[in-house]
Structure 1
Amino acid sequence: MSSQSYSSSDSESVVMASPSRSDFPTVFVPEGHVALVLLQEGESSFYLRIPLSIINSLCLKPRKYLIFLGWCILGCEGVLALEHDGDEINTDGGLDDQWIYHYVPAATLDLVHAVDLEVIKARKCVFSEFTETRDEFSTKLLERDVRCLWTGVIDYGARLHIIPPERGPEWFRLIVENRPNCSENVTTLNDINDIRNGVFAYSTIRAAFDLCHLAILKTPNQILNPEDIPPRDDRHVYADVSYPTSSRYTLQWLVVPEPGITTIVPNNRDATFKRNTEKPKPSDLLLHYTYGAAAIKCWGHGTEVLKDRANPPRPSAPVQAPIRPSRSSTAGAGTGESDGQATWDEDDVMLFFWGNTRAAKERHLKKVEEIIERMEQWRAGVAEDSV
């Protein structure tokens, strides 16, 4: 073990042990980065490798930001530690270069998967199936948003689905059904073209969001408060829109954009909505899901650990051609596959973990009980017929 200076919340310098790189041989942390281990299986880990400069640009409390990422992705509450089964560390300090941090769930993860990803992926819908409803969806968004939420433009705006339609209605339904514990009422959120699954945004924002370069952070949430992220910039706000009074919908760049883009779309810019509208805002649940997915796409490594746990072995299957690059390309350097198996993308990883939330397991148990009941009824009927 190596020792490094560690900053505590009261700004006193204390010495704590940082895990040696040799303790986690599959976790590579280059200079200027930290690692957040989300699942450790023996010497293998699924983890995020995140540039410190990005974390510090997105959150004023970087340790809380790591907890937020763990909560989004795993779908359960937990703490930040220096070992996978270690004690909680203070959340008010900073992060140390090249250190490995662990998200430790409050309850042990029992990854007996309640969702068969390969079956669901085989039922994906083609994007063209939704063409008839896209114009109606845009109209509904404009009635609530009036203009791009973050730039105020109208002419170069476009509808943006938070969960892409090509994922299909069953995938969308599973995200909602398998949701982590949250206070949002989503009992009626069952349509992928629901206004809560979209925003009206400048075309550049939509393109960056589709690529997972950009994410929307909704605060307050289970982990972060509005004060935990940088204050919004002082931009011109049109008279027909205003900022929400008790929440923030903040655009955050998870990768450094091309020069000049931040002039139009700055980091940490907040959304405005139509004044006095009673139409529902974008769903917290869906925004947290896509934030976690974007983090996996940009920083995720080691998905082979998850694939080994997800489903029974299957014959190799051809990888489907991508429908659009936003939700089908490889998620980070550690997520590509070289063994002929179908590639997992960021949405597969998210549903793998969310498929083990309490809601998912309760739903799965209920389905199993219903199957058993139908089988018993069938057997009873066969027995009566044979008498």
Structure 2
Amino acid sequence: MTDTVLDRLLRYVVIDTQSDASSSAQPSTEKQKDLGRVLEKELLALGLTDAHLDEHGNVYATIPANVDKPVPVICFCSHMDTAPDFTGTNVRPQLVRNYQGGDIQLVGDPSRVIRVTEHPDLNDQIGHDIVTTDGTTLLGADDKAGIAEIMTAAAAILADPSIRHGAIKILFTTDEEIGRGADKVDLKKLGAAFGYTMDGGRIGEIEDETFSADGVVIDITGVAMHPGYAKDRMENAIKIAGDIISRLPKELSPETTEGKAGFIHPVGVTGAMESAKLTFIIRDFTEEGLKAKEALLKGIADEVIALYPRSSLTFTVKEQYRNMKVVLDQYPDVVDNLVEAVRRVGLTPERHSIRGGTDGSRLSFMGLPCPNIYTGGHAYHSPLEWVSVQDMEMSVKTIIELVKVWEERTAG
């Protein structure tokens, strides 16, 4: 069994683990367990005797403490699934050794090019070894780079008794890409006080804030009628749905917002004359902003349906996740210790907000405060996805320094 972070990444990304939002099962695809079984076997081979894959596809393991004082138990977490946005079947990773600048043309589909103008972080990668796809699939560095980094760090920690640490928990989840990554995690069994997801991007970036997120479903019931005799009788549910969408404020859409600005985003439209369904995701960094956007959407829907007196609609809001900063601010040591670890590996820590969510969002509110650490990956969810081997190695070093910081800062 090879043990470099690159070897691990190349071994993991060829396993198809895409999740499927249309499935109600957990995991949503059984193939996610294919990677889970590989990781279980590798963890057992490292000597972690409690390593196991549960019925939901989650993998758990423990690195025992090698100190006597009661250091808080910390967890490192990554997800095994890849995004449904682009195919993850038959991934053929490509290695560009000693990158010397310029655009990278992908060999499987020459029309796909990782252009420096669109990926300026390439300017920081001169001399690095870069892993890409062949252009026909996504790579899956989101989040198999994180898995490879956790596994490599675990092997290094176990091999070097001079790295003093408390108990360390390892958790690999399923279905994160479809918003269910923490649904079946057993925190009591995990037994950690604090956690870190390895699911970020550019090295040096610490993500301690996420969107708060809700989903909205608008079900519309119209009045179907033969179009030849429809005058003053038909109320077409498709047109009602279209009217609602057309009234959405353009300044509150993903394509016009950035930074801390939230949005209202339609993600699905289905229907016929008699009924239609609209699905939305609502995002904001504050609870107040989230509720204001939902109220605005509800107002638009009510205004439109009032124009169709024989039709009706229902407006259903489902909570998805909340801004983890609300929880993390109550436990400053979690981020402070990470900042120190980042400095120790020679990077400048940069605290960032995620215009999205991670398992850490859900886990934080479930009782496991959990910021996000960089993996070195870029252009996630696309065939242009890439990651630097040297940046992954830096992430491994960060994990190792972080467990040392927790041990050093715990009073004996």
TM-score w.r.t. the length of structure 1 is 0.27
Q: Which structure's relative contact order is higher, taking Cα pairs within 8 Å and 6+ residues apart?
A: 2
Higher strand share: 2
Tell which structure's C-alpha radius of gyration is larger: 2
TM-score w.r.t. the length of structure 2 is 0.26
